[in-house]
Amino acid sequence: MSRQILIDPVTRIEGHAKITIQLDDAGKVQDAHFHVTQVRGFEKFVEGRPFHEMPALMARICGICPVSHLMASSKACDALMRVTIPRPAIHLRRIMNMAQIVQSHALSFFYLSAPDLLLGMDADPAARNIYGLAEANPALARDGVRLRQFGQQVIEILGGKRIHPGWVVPGGVAEALSPEKREQLLSMLPEALAIAQRTLLWYKGTLERYQDEIESFANFPSLFMGLANEDNTLEHYDGRLRFAYSSSNLVTEVSPKDYETVIGEAVEPDTYLKSPYYKPLGYPDGIYRVGPLARLNMVKSCGTPLADQALNDFRQQNRNSSFHYHYARLIEILFCIERIEQLLNEQDILDKNVRVYASPNRRHGVGISEAPRGTLMHHYEIDDDGQITRAELIIATGHNNLAMNRGVLQVAQRFITSAKITDGMLNRVEAVIRAYDPCLSCSTHAVGKMPLHLELLGADGTLVDEIKR
Amino acid sequence: MILLIGYGNPLCGDDGVGPYIAERLAEDADGLSSDLECLSVHQLMPELAENISRASVVIFVDAECGGAPGGITCYKLAKPARPSGMVPAAFTHNVSPQTLLENASFLYGRRPVAYLYTVSGEDFSLGATFSSAVEAALPGLLDRLKTRINRCTNLVLLKQ
């Protein structure tokens, strides 16, 4: 008799999801599915709104990554206006985007994943959280707090507030950088850099303990997708849209505006989260991964000295394992801090020319940037009056949907060995999802509560076993 | 420094009362201590422990489910009987004021005096407006908070 295990919802991810695991007659894991149970709806209710409202509206999708939506949305509006925004505005947008990546990666690493890494996958769930982490290693917890504050402060200094800043606008940014703010930003960098370096060092020291997880956490070859520069370096704001198996095995590269020629979207009946795939390989063979691991795996170098050193060490690891999303996040934090300094030292960073104005000059506009969790795509269509007639969003968590499903199956097959589920088994299944740092708020606009409920169901639907947290 | 943290979702009706109060007090600080800092946030996050550790007094403002709509309650957040250590919290996105105070003490060595003011909400559905009961309670809540802030300011000055 085949049976089903249900984990509902998954904890410590942004939003609400559940996992079902199907057992076969012999009690072995046969299949696994990651379901998202809320609908987003943003694409529908923005229809009819003036296009220039889109950045402010879309930023409301997420309280964690409003800046990422501001970036992609403003870029889509730039495309509708058919303008090239001033170079200083590009520098400033990049700085804010990187600050966003730092604060979000810090949230993911220190708050959501480090408790697993420091306290162990089998630790008591009541203690395996940021507070348990603080008790076990207060210095690390303080570093997490500080690094997140750093990212938020940079956003606040540039945009006027931490959440939903309205400073990134179609055509550029609303206000130029003042010399005082530039000095303030520069003065914050050394501490952030030191934290990033010592956290990376600490993390590398823990890797030996997690060889089992590294081998089984969505460890498979796949395509990676993301933006990259033409010189094969890391890019988060512009560049070309690339599919590659590795930095030396490029499959294709297109202009971001042509993403629809390479990406298709499949719909499954049991989840609101669509499954994007690489069109030439079809569905579901066109599975690919996005986010920090994908970005690092696709490029030859980061383009900053310390991050490049870290990338060389990273390349000694098995880079197909999604467990290394954590490692990649730390390297990206380092890169972003270095890159923010480079940008603040650009000659034209204080230039007052930071915005261009125009009416719509095109019916379609595509804006693509790299959000912390991966490639974020906003595509708008407007009518003669500049009102939205169609909005299409493809979110990082959606891109990773097929890979997350495969990862859950792999880790379930490795760690679930009986019909009686232990907390350790359960947490490993959840942890493989958390490695991708999915944002279900973004992918469906859900605000979910996080109690944990696992059910083991027989083929006829009867309850065989149940765990509640 | 006196820190006021108003938290909630301004797009969920009465849930936005905390951020609204924080923003009003930040704008209209006439007669209040110049050392008052107001934070308006969607939710309490662990990093607020650091801000809290730097304050002499912390005042949280939140909406509450239950009770007569518009009813105002003030709780003094006493130090728990269990000394040091963490208040177990299963989820990092659901942090309580008490947990933040404990973490301020544990991570930064300071646990300020703290109060929690709540307003019982009636309508938490999508929208940026308050129910009539909460709307009617706002002037009284602002008055009570200003009185509390002035009293705390005097106490802090006396201690100095």
Domain ranges (residues) in chain A = 3-39+406-468, 84-219+323-357
- What pLDDT sits at residue B158? 65
Indicate yes or no: CB of B90 within 8 angstroms of CB of A132.
no
- What pLDDT sits at residue A450? 34
Tell me the count of A-B CB pairs closer than 8 A: 70
pLDDT tier at A353 (50, 70, 90 boundaries)?
Answer: very high
- Assign domain B2-159 to its CATH architecture: 3-Layer(aba) Sandwich (3.40)
- Assign domain A84-219+323-357 to its CATH architecture: Orthogonal Bundle (1.10)
Q: What is the 3-state secondary structure (H, E, C) of chain B?
A: CEEEEEECCCCEHHHHHHHHHHHHHHHCCCCCCCCEEEEEECCCCCCHHHHHHCCCEEEEEEEECCCCCCCEEEEECCCCCCCCCCCCCCCCCCCCHHHHHHHHHHHHCCCCEEEEEEEECCCCCCECCCCHHHHHHHHHHHHHHHHHHHHHHHHHHHHC
How does the average pLDDT of chain B come out, rounded?
84
Residues whose CB falls within 8 Å of the CB of residue A212, separated by 6 or more in sequence, listed in order: A414
Indicate yes or no: CB of B87 within 8 angstroms of CB of A129.
no
What is this model's ipTM? 0.72
Indicate yes or no: CB of B47 within 8 angstroms of CB of A145.
yes
- Closest residue on chain B to A60 (Cα): B11
Residue A48 has pLDDT above 90, yes or no: yes
- In tens, the pLDDT along A106-117 reads 988 888 788 778
Report the residue of B91, B102, B106, B125 to disrupt the A interface, i.e. the one with the largest count of A CBs within 10 Å: B91
Give the three-state DSSP class for A19.
strand
Taking contacts as CB-CB distances below 8 angstroms, the residues of chain B near A452 are 90
pLDDT tier at A367 (50, 70, 90 boundaries)?
Answer: very high
Question: What does the alpha-carbon distance between residue A430 and residue A5 come to, in Å, rounded to a whole number?
Answer: 13
Q: Provide the percentage of residues in chain B whose pLDDT is more than 70.
A: 87
Indicate yes or no: CB of B87 within 8 angstroms of CB of A126.
no
Q: What is the DSSP letter of A80?
A: H
- Write down the residue that tokens 């270095």 correspond to: A338
Please give the residue that has the higher pLDDT: either A425 or A224.
A224
- What pLDDT sits at residue A9? 53
pTM score of the predicted model: 0.83
Indicate yes or no: CB of A14 within 8 angstroms of CB of B93.
yes
Each domain of chain B, given as residue ranges in start order, spans: 2-159
Indicate yes or no: CB of A145 within 8 angstroms of CB of B107.
yes
Taking contacts as CB-CB distances below 8 angstroms, the residues of chain A near B47 are 144-145, 148-149, 152
A56-60, A451-455, B155-159 — most confident range? A56-60
